[in-house]
Amino acid sequence: MKTMNELGVPVPTHRAHVIRPLKEVSLEQRERALRETEYNMFSFPADLLVLDYLSDSGTTAMSDLQWAALFHGDESYGRNKGYYVLLDTIRDTFERGDQPREAIKLILSGEKDVETLMDKLYLTADEGGFVNGGQHQLSRPNAFITPQGRAAEHLLFSTIREVLDEMNGPGKEYWIPNNGHFDTTGANIAANGIEPVNMFQPGVLDPFPYEKMDRENPFKGDMDLEKLESFIVEKGRENIPVIYLTVTNNTVAGQPVSLANIKAVHGIAKKYRIPLFFDACRFAENAAFIKQFEKGYEKRSIRSIVQEMFSYADGFSISLKKDGLSNIGGGLFIRDRGDFVQRFSTKNEDVGVRLKEKQIVWFGNDSYGALSGRDIMALAVGIHEVVDETYLYGRIGQTRLLARELAAAGVPVVLPAGGHAVYIDMDRFFEGTDMRIGDFGGVGFTIELLRHYGIRACELGPFAFEWDQRNEEQRKGILNLVRFAIPRNAYSREHIDYTVAAVVELYKNRHKIPKVKITRGAELRLRHFQTGLKPVY
Ligand code: F0G
């Protein structure tokens, strides 16, 4: 008799406990709503959709333990108990590998012994890592809770700019390289007068046989090492405040980054004494890819792989709305007395103190960072749950399933599938039709998918990345993709089946997909969130 893993179908990893019934919306009603929201995907009322692949951010269905943890939320203004729990969870996850202390259990189980609570949670004196504790977090703060990822990015990049201007005088040019800046990351860097530079690995859209998806992975999210090093030499190390590495690489079709690449980027960063930061939004999914596909890591736990990954980072910003398995949350964490602190602290001021002041001015007291106490508790549970291997393989397996079924039906998806989303290559999708890149066919596709089938996806191509506003050189960095980002723990096989049937039907009728014109706000920053559009039927 076969074992459960040999049956050839995924073993389920959860059961639904609460459901949300969907509305029956007609084609005409969706058409009216599309017209009245200027055909912009971000403006369409979510309640009228069948399926929503706009983002995997904050769209997680929480676990029963997370819902239970909400009741432990402490809404105190100063030093709520969730603050300590969350900081200990960050230490557990990013530093302690296979030896997590799980101090969260003291709270969830109602520990009453005051000495135990003080020694293990409230007065722990950690230092030297990403989260100082006790007095060290007061004199050298290095852990900053924020409402979401972009708030952490804003804190970091505005502070970098401020310090550089103080040290070198205002108005100088700086660059921040990344294996793929997410749109808000790039926008936050640019808003501070620094240039974000993408260093994708060549060959991201190269064909990959879908039969091999369970056995091999080329880690297409890796950073281009040669480009990085020659760029540092060309611009000068002093003009590159930090190097960034995004794990997984959302802009490059959600592809993972290998540990070999992380180590190599770290080597270059050390050689030129530039701090290395991670954009750690989907760190656990990245670790699952390393375990499954990188030689030498098969037998390692997810926790120990995460520990090794982050041992190479000098700091990280993170949106915990993804691999925090939470609906809200983010943070900025910086290695105590590390390269960043040394480079950006001035004679008069520790950079952590400067960051904390800014955090208080913009986001509230450091112990809640604009989150409610109950959100903090659910988040801490979510971070413990996300490193669970069974969950992760179920999660990545579902993404792979959607990619495989679309590929099997001939739809040109980017293979292998990444962790959180499936991307359709729109150049190949429209091959043989008269659709040109400036016609925004990807947007036309998303409009038709929503109009006919009530499914929302997102163009991340020439429209989102402003092809028409760019010069020839900048246009080379724009991939022509549509993304289906899968909410965590929310969809099941029937949702995948419905999606595949709808996309295949549109693919067969691709010559009928309209070109799209921008009717309002072509020059707006992050315009895909806000411009008006019109399909030309
Ligand atoms: N970095 C990456 C790689 C991201 O994917 C995101 C968000 C952020 C930073 C910003 O985090 O939303 O919490 O402020 N990505 C979402 C997405 C929005 O749909 O991919 P945030």
Q: What pLDDT digit, counting tens, does each position of 304-354 carry?
A: 999 999 999 999 999 999 998 999 999 999 999 999 999 999 988 999 999
Instruction: Tell how far the Cα of 182 is from the centroid of ligand 1, in angstroms.
Output: 7
Instruction: Tell how far the Cα of 491 is from the centroid of ligand 1, in angstroms.
Output: 20
Pocket test for ligand 1, best of 155, 223, 322, 420 (most atoms within 8 A of CB): 322
User: Is the Cβ atom of 319 under 6 angstroms away from ligand 1?
Assistant: yes
Q: Is residue 254 part of a domain?
A: no
User: Is the Cβ atom of 286 under 6 angstroms away from ligand 1?
Assistant: no
Over range 134-160, report the average pLDDT.
Answer: 97
Pocket test for ligand 1, best of 281, 399, 482 (most atoms within 8 A of CB): 281
The rounded distance, in Å, linking the Cα atoms of 442 and 374 is 39
Q: What pLDDT digit, counting tens, does each position of 263-318 carry?
A: 999 999 999 999 999 999 999 999 999 999 999 999 999 999 999 999 999 999 99
Q: What pLDDT digit, counting tens, does each position of 84-107 carry?
A: 999 999 999 999 999 999 999 999
Residue 116 to residues 83, 107, 119, 127: CA-CA distances in angstroms? 17, 11, 5, 20
pLDDT the model gives residue 534: 97
Residue 98 to residues 62, 86, 145, 155: CA-CA distances in angstroms? 24, 18, 24, 31
Nearest-atom number in ligand 1 for the CA of 485 is 19
pLDDT the model gives residue 526: 84
End of a domain among 387, 421, 439?
387
E-assigned strands of 7-102?
51-52
User: Is the Cβ atom of 179 under 6 angstroms away from ligand 1?
Assistant: no
Share of the chain above pLDDT 70, in %: 100
Instruction: Tell how far the Cα of 367 is from the centroid of ligand 1, in angstroms.
Output: 22
pLDDT the model gives residue 369: 95
Nearest-atom number in ligand 1 for the CA of 320 is 13
Residue 525 has pLDDT above 80, yes or no: yes
Over range 21-36, report the average pLDDT.
Answer: 97
Q: How confident is the model at residue 418 (pLDDT cuts 50, 70, 90)?
A: very high
The rounded distance, in Å, linking the Cα atoms of 123 and 335 is 20
Specify whether 374 is located in the same domain as 394. Answer: no
pLDDT the model gives residue 373: 97
Residue 348, token pair as written in the block: 């008069």
Q: What pLDDT digit, counting tens, does each position of 467-504 carry?
A: 999 999 888 878 899 999 999 999 999 999 999 999 99
pLDDT the model gives residue 474: 84
User: Is the Cβ atom of 486 under 6 angstroms away from ligand 1?
Assistant: no
Q: Is residue 87 part of a domain?
A: yes
User: Is the Cβ atom of 531 under 6 angstroms away from ligand 1?
Assistant: no
Residue 187, token pair as written in the block: 């926008």
Which H or E element spans position 362?
Answer: helix 351-363
Over range 161-182, report the average pLDDT.
Answer: 96
**Pick from 141, 162, 131: nearest CA to 365:** 141
Q: Is residue 188 part of a domain?
A: no
Residue 290, token pair as written in the block: 């390393």
Instruction: Tell how far the Cα of 511 is from the centroid of ligand 1, in angstroms.
Output: 33
The rounded distance, in Å, linking the Cα atoms of 180 and 106 is 40
Q: Specify the pTM.
A: 0.96
Residue 414 to residues 423, 477, 525: CA-CA distances in angstroms? 6, 17, 27
Residue 370 to residues 145, 147, 216: CA-CA distances in angstroms? 8, 5, 42
Specify whether 364 is located in the same domain as 395. Answer: no
Instruction: Tell how far the Cα of 18 is from the centroid of ligand 1, in angstroms.
Output: 27
Q: What pLDDT digit, counting tens, does each position of 438-449 carry?
A: 999 999 999 999
Specify whether 400 is located in the same domain as 410. Answer: yes
Instruction: Tell how far the Cα of 375 is from the centroid of ligand 1, in angstroms.
Output: 18
Nearest-atom number in ligand 1 for the CA of 249 is 3
- Asked if residue 457 lies in contact with residue 483, where contact means CB atoms within 8 angstroms, the answer is yes
Residue identifier of the C-alpha nearest atom 8 of ligand 1: 149
Residue 228, token pair as written in the block: 């990085």
- Asked if residue 458 lies in contact with residue 54, where contact means CB atoms within 8 angstroms, the answer is yes
Instruction: Tell how far the Cα of 285 is from the centroid of ligand 1, in angstroms.
Output: 15
Residue 5 has pLDDT above 80, yes or no: yes
Specify whether 474 is located in the same domain as 354. Answer: no
Specify whether 25 is located in the same domain as 68. Answer: no
Specify whether 522 is located in the same domain as 405. Answer: yes
Compute the mean pLDDT over every residue in the chain, rounded to the nearest whole number: 96
Specify whether 350 is located in the same domain as 474. Answer: no
Specify whether 407 is located in the same domain as 487. Answer: yes
Q: How confident is the model at residue 505 (pLDDT cuts 50, 70, 90)?
A: very high
Q: Is residue 526 part of a domain?
A: yes
pLDDT the model gives residue 414: 94
User: Is the Cβ atom of 249 under 6 angstroms away from ligand 1?
Assistant: no
- Asked if residue 516 lies in contact with residue 510, where contact means CB atoms within 8 angstroms, the answer is no
Q: Is residue 508 part of a domain?
A: yes
**Pick from 430, 446, 426, 436: nearest CA to 535:** 446
Nearest-atom number in ligand 1 for the CA of 57 is 16
pLDDT the model gives residue 475: 87
- Beta-bridged to residue 280, according to DSSP, are none
Comparing 152-156, 188-192, 249-253, which segment has the lowest mean pLDDT? 249-253
Specify whether 488 is located in the same domain as 431. Answer: yes
User: Is the Cβ atom of 441 under 6 angstroms away from ligand 1?
Assistant: no
User: Is the Cβ atom of 330 under 6 angstroms away from ligand 1?
Assistant: yes
CATH code for the domain in which residue 34 is found? 3.90.1150.10
Instruction: Tell how far the Cα of 281 is from the centroid of ligand 1, in angstroms.
Output: 7
Domain membership of residue 531 as a residue range: 20-49+389-536
Residue identifier of the C-alpha nearest atom 15 of ligand 1: 57
Q: Is residue 158 part of a domain?
A: no
Specify whether 328 is located in the same domain as 427. Answer: no
Specify whether 487 is located in the same domain as 419. Answer: yes
Give the list of residues 6+ apart from residue 380 with CB closer than 8 angstroms, or none: 69, 82, 85, 86, 89, 104
Specify whether 441 is located in the same domain as 532. Answer: yes
pLDDT the model gives residue 447: 98
- Asked if residue 74 lies in contact with residue 108, where contact means CB atoms within 8 angstroms, the answer is no
Q: What pLDDT digit, counting tens, does each position of 463-477 carry?
A: 998 999 999 988 887
Residue identifier of the C-alpha nearest atom 10 of ligand 1: 149
Over range 226-236, report the average pLDDT.
Answer: 98
Q: Is residue 488 part of a domain?
A: yes
pLDDT the model gives residue 104: 97
pLDDT the model gives residue 478: 85
pLDDT the model gives residue 135: 94
E-assigned strands of 370-469?
421-425, 455-456, 458-460
Give the count of beta carbons closer than 10 Å to the beta carbon of residue 398. 22
Over range 242-263, report the average pLDDT.
Answer: 96
Domain count, the chain: 2
The rounded distance, in Å, linking the Cα atoms of 250 and 13 is 25
pLDDT the model gives residue 203: 87
End of a domain among 361, 387, 413?
387
End of a domain among 365, 387, 409?
387
Residue 472, token pair as written in the block: 């020839």
User: Is the Cβ atom of 285 under 6 angstroms away from ligand 1?
Assistant: no
Q: Is residue 223 part of a domain?
A: no
User: Is the Cβ atom of 255 under 6 angstroms away from ligand 1?
Assistant: no
